[in-house]
Chains A and B, each alone.
Chain A
Amino acid sequence: MTAAHLRKPPGTDSTIPAPEEEGTVPRRRQEIMKWNGWGYSDSRFFLNEKDQVKFTGRRYSLSGAIIPGLKGWMESTFGADILHKISPAPALNSSAVQSPILYEAFLVELKSTGIPFSYDAEDRVFRAHGHCLHEIFALREGKIGRVPDIVVWPDCHNNVVKIVELACKHDVCLIPYGGGTNVSRALECPPEETRSIVSLDTSQMNRILWIDEKNLTARVEAGIIGQDLERLLDQRGFCVGHEPDSLEFSSLGGWVATRSSGMKKNIYGNIEDLVVHMKMVTPQGIIEKGFQGPRMSTGPDIHHFIMGSEGTLGVITEVTMKIRPKPEFKKYGSVVFPNFEMGVACLREIARQRCAPASIRLMDNEQFKLGYAMKPQASSVFTSFLNGLKQFYITKFKGFDPTRLCVATLLLEGNREKVLQHERQIYGIAAKFGGLAAGEENGQRGYMLTFFIAYLRDLAMDYYVIAESFETSVPWDRVLDICRNVKACIVQKCKEKGVKFPPFASCRVAQTYDTGACVYFYFGFNYRGLSSPVQVYEQVEHAAREEILANGGSLSHHHGVGKIRKEWMRETVSDVGMGMLKSVKDYVDPNNIFGSRNLL
């Protein structure tokens, strides 16, 4: 999966293992990453001199490619217009950043530990945000709110212990920072926080400490980012198989702290299934289990206080994870269904039979069209001829309505024969629901979409289009209803709020479970003619979340709560549940050192 879209970082020769202590992410993230957008500085979509969309850089399979359909898609979907362009602020204006609140005594002691730290404006701004629409929007306009006052880079567990001790001693607020990819306002500095805020950047804690081949586990420092973890294990013939869409940049500690979910959870499990042991540094000391048996009956699992704690209890420093031998064979696939209803019925049946492949996702018609628009320029006349032929077969011969059809993308992994047999089984079930096998390339492109969607948002924002994603999990019988109602709610709210162009509201069933599914929504609109687009955006998103909850959807499947969804926590876990969580916080961190104010 990683290999399919992500090339090795430049300067890393694939035959020589990277020096262990040097990860992809440097302390100064600004050296390789954008300060006001997604991902690498060298990788972005832009409109070339022939008005074609092109992707820059050398990192991705799409790098250097022209995507001929994208401009048309943006025009027809959003009413975007190349004449109406709005460019972001070119560089960070350091003077817009408020000067840091510094405690002299704390600084003196911090210096004496030798742990690197900085109060440079750029460093601080980088760690003050995730990737919520309003956060990126503000940065593009050059608006900077409250940011951390100091950034520290511990490079091992012991350094974290020292920092937490100092923070407690001097009553400093700590906010752990992993990959900065959240979409829950989790990194936003609480405006009411008057203490000095220290951003604890874990990115330099990125080593694999040991690999236990007998038990198939690996001890990993929690700051490692997904792509490095898989790359390093790959060199030893293993993998973890945890692939959230953000795995290029998100960190192991972040996965744990948000209860993340991976695309291939059907084989490898979600984060809670993958963690065998972990260590967290809290103001009360270190919390860890004394044993690492595969399962324990020892009261409530203390790991579940840590997983999903969203940086409110401490810093996760080291994690022992399950690892697996690298799969022998991988295959993508896709199935076209005449409509979304049939597609959902098929996924439900696959879940009932418990034969879901590593990944299966069902994209609705809007997302199918987006996937189609993301097709790079056909390399030969023959390919484009073949594509035309396929389209003809599906729409004319099979009578699928191009405005209703939808596509399921598949990823199968494992033993070659078993994969091929599994594939036949899936296509057999799909056929009963009117599904037609539609080839590997469509499947692969479907997964590729998730890596580029955030880059695509940056391009869209250049043309007055704002967008974001949100997700939920819902029982099977509610899947169709929630998809329809949430999309209808978005359309209605946009109209009500005076949005001048029809919004883009699209969804996919991203994960299947025995009793339900994870549904992922994309939502965006052209805000030309609106005086406060972000406010409108947030009102619509709020209404959509209310609609999700009214339709039996959960508050979040894997994005977490952060601050953006806090208001619904009480009804999500009940009063007593809130009390339990609060009492844990009160015991572990009575002085609110970990003061991000997420979750509760």
Chain B
Amino acid sequence: METGSTVEKVRDEACGILEEMSQNLQLGFIRLMGCTLNKVFKRLFRSIFVNTEGLNRLQQAVQENPVILMPNHRSYIDFLVISYALFIYDIPIPVIAAGIPLAGMKIVGEILRRSGAFFIRRAIGSDKLYWAVLSEYVHTIVRTGYAPVEFYVEGLRSRTLKSLPPKLGMMHMVLEPFFKGEVFDITLVPISISYDRVLEESLLVHELLGVPKPKESTSGLLKASRVLQEDYGTMHVNFGSPLSVRELCEGKINLRQYNLIPRDLPQKPSAEAQACVSWLAHLMVRTQEEGSLISPWSLMACLLLQAPAPVLTEEGLPWHHLTEKTLWLRKLALDFGAHLNWPGQMSDSDVMSSAVALHRSSVHLKGGRVCLIREGEPDKKRPLTPEEGVIRTAAAVLMLASYRNQSIHTFVRPAVLAMALHVTKSTQEEELFSFFCFLQEVFSYEFIFIPSRSSQDFEEACSRLKKCGAVHLSEQEVTASEQGQEVLSFLRELLKPFIDSYQLMFRCLCEERVDMFSEKQFQSALQSAAIKLILSGELHTYEVLSAAMQKNFLSMLRRLEAVTESRVSDHSEYKVNTAVVRKTKDILSGKIPPERRHATPDARL
């Protein structure tokens, strides 16, 4: 043994891991849960919509091949809803991969276990035994196919309500039985859950602003029971079309690579397998995005955020102006192929005012104007410092941004093109494409772009902008049209908070005098700089204060090798490669052109 311990010891350890991990699905228990959830859900939501044709397809699929359910993850209750729906429709209840902290909760851990959850440690890293036990556990469930496996390909609950770049470990694990020929095919079922209002909304914002997430505990959950008193509108669960892994992977991975090593030996996936898994995982997240329903509120949030924050918090936006623009945006979203949750039986103005009513904790409508609500009235005895005031506004803005994020995937590709048109001031397709790819790379952690699909994304952006009349396409040229200015400026403004925030972060890095810095140091330096600039009126976005954006930025730097990471005791330290940072910053601001790319679709991926 590598560790020098005896076989018995390792076996005991493996048994321990298995005990900690394994689910204990009990049908009787599920029935009990079914009744309880019935009551809870009725209380929380006006209605829950499930697409029955999706469930019928799923019912068919579970009889043919092992099925993997892949929902997006926006709320703790996501998996409850899915299991509940399957239970009602008499489809085998899934076995669900959950994070280990949940297992630690009193009673709740056991409830989840009996409802089919199995628990995975975070950061498995180099623990080979744990990795081996987990993958064998997952493989066995997939191979025997007695229950669908459910996991969140995004890895965690999205704090920003935007899709997260997929995590590949679990994805690879569930696909391996197919790669190794242990099953003929695997069926992936993307599931898009769309909430009018997310239960955890205020919690999310506090986490984004650096208030740490409370540890999952049963008492915490009970305290949260006040959420039961609130109205969360409707919820849509959209079961996507089952996708055949065999079909998707055809030509993308040569399965013969698994022929020469015993299949039960854990192996590091080859570069080809990693690329294939990554592609598939991104594709699934994109499919989730495309299957989600966009609420009127999300469209309104897009528009509200384009007004300056002081206007929003002080005098507010004229209601008629907002409603007019929202209807305009509704048309654009439909042109871009989005699915809307716009009730047809109500008048448009009723739809919009009921959205505002549902979100009365964020905005209020008074005297024909919509104002952003900031939490907590300032204490008269101890007035807020200007810095605290910024944070208070930021909380309100970030909450609004989260709801904007619910629909941003619809607009992001055309928006990136609109930004490229603006920054490059060019009409040459090749030049635009190069900048388009550059932006995709810079924002690869903010938005989901399927790897090696830039050409298709670019074409999609062009054709969508053409469809709504914003651009003219001709041989190797893309020109903005006169009447397209409204669309193009909306799209640019949509991306602007991201561009401005990234520019500021680049600036901070360049001005940083120290050689090495930790994530914490970076964040606090950034925070004070940002607050100063906001107060002086030089910076117009609050989103740079979001921890999620700061993390994404650092991830991007790592990927571009603009920083090198090294572990120092319990945290990471970063060393800046100033040349790369400057170059990237200058490309982003249009000072120097990005490297040329040719719009040739990659044959393999």
Contact = CB atoms under 8 A, between A and B. Distances in A.
A and B bind: yes
Interface of A: 477-478, 481-482, 484-485, 488-489, 549-552, 571
Interface string B245-275: 0000000000110110011000000000000
Contacts of B185: 488
B181 A481 contact: yes
Given A477-B262, A477-B263, A488 B256 contact: no
Interface in B183-222: 184-185
A565 B182 CA distance: 25
Nearest to B246: A492
A207 B182 CA distance: 50
Q: Which secondary structure dominates where chain A touches chain B?
A: helix
A571 B184 CA distance: 23
A79 to B, nearest CB: 23
A201 B146 CA distance: 58
Contacts, number: 24
A549 B184 CA distance: 14
A485 B262 contact: no
Given A477-B262, A477-B263, A571 B181 contact: no
Contacts of B256: 549-550, 552, 571
Contacts of A485: 181, 184
- By Cβ-Cβ distance, the 5 closest A-B pairs, closest first, are A550-B255, A551-B181, A488-B184, A552-B259, A481-B181
A552 B184 contact: no
Contacts of A552: 181, 256, 258-259
Nearest to A485: B184
A299 B408 CA distance: 69
Of A477, A489, A551, chain B has the most CB atoms within 10 Å of the CB of: A551
Contacts of A550: 181, 255-256
A544 B185 CA distance: 15
Contacts of B258: 552
Contacts of B263: 477-478
Interface size, B (range) = 10 to 19
Nearest to A491: B184
A481 B182 contact: yes
15 contacts: A477-B262, A477-B263, A478-B263, A481-B181, A481-B182, A482-B181, A484-B184, A485-B181, A485-B184, A488-B184, A489-B184, A550-B181, A552-B258, A552-B259, A571-B256
A586 B139 CA distance: 49
A412 B185 CA distance: 40
Of the listed residues B185, B259, B262, B263, the one surrounded by the most CB atoms of chain A closer than 10 A to its CB is B259
Nearest to B262: A477
A489 B182 CA distance: 14
Interface centre among B256, B262, B263 (most CB of A within 10 A): B256
A550 B255 CA distance: 5
Contacts of A478: 181, 263
A482 B185 CA distance: 13
Interface string B136-179: 00000000000000000000000000000000000000000000
Nearest to B258: A552
Nearest to B257: A550
B259 to A, nearest CB: 4
A166 B256 CA distance: 45
A481 B139 CA distance: 14
A21 to B, nearest CB: 49
A551 B178 CA distance: 10
A478 B184 CA distance: 13
A53 to B, nearest CB: 34
B106 to A, nearest CB: 43
B249 to A, nearest CB: 10
A551 B256 CA distance: 7
Contacts of B184: 484-485, 488-489
A550 B185 CA distance: 13
Contacts of A477: 262-263
B11 to A, nearest CB: 22
A480 to B, nearest CB: 9
Interface string B496-522: 000000000000000000000000000
Nearest to B244: A492
B207 to A, nearest CB: 45
A488 B258 CA distance: 20
A552 B256 CA distance: 7
Interface centre among A477, A478, A550 (most CB of B within 10 A): A550
Interface in B455-514: none
A482 B180 CA distance: 11
In this complex, the member of B182, B184, B185, B258 whose beta carbon has the largest number of chain A beta carbons within 10 angstroms is B184
- Which of B181, B255, B258, B263: most chain A CB closer than 10 A? B181
Interface string B220-258: 000000000000000000000000000000000001101
Given A481-B182, A484-B184, A551-B181, 16 more contacts: A477-B263, A478-B263, A481-B181, A482-B181, A485-B181, A485-B184, A488-B184, A488-B185, A489-B184, A550-B255, A551-B255, A552-B181, A552-B256, A552-B258, A552-B259, A571-B256
A549 B259 CA distance: 9
A481 B258 CA distance: 13
A543 to B, nearest CB: 10
Contacts of A489: 184
Nearest to B177: A481
Contacts of B262: 477
Contacts of A481: 181-182
A380 to B, nearest CB: 46
A172 B302 CA distance: 80
Contacts of B182: 481
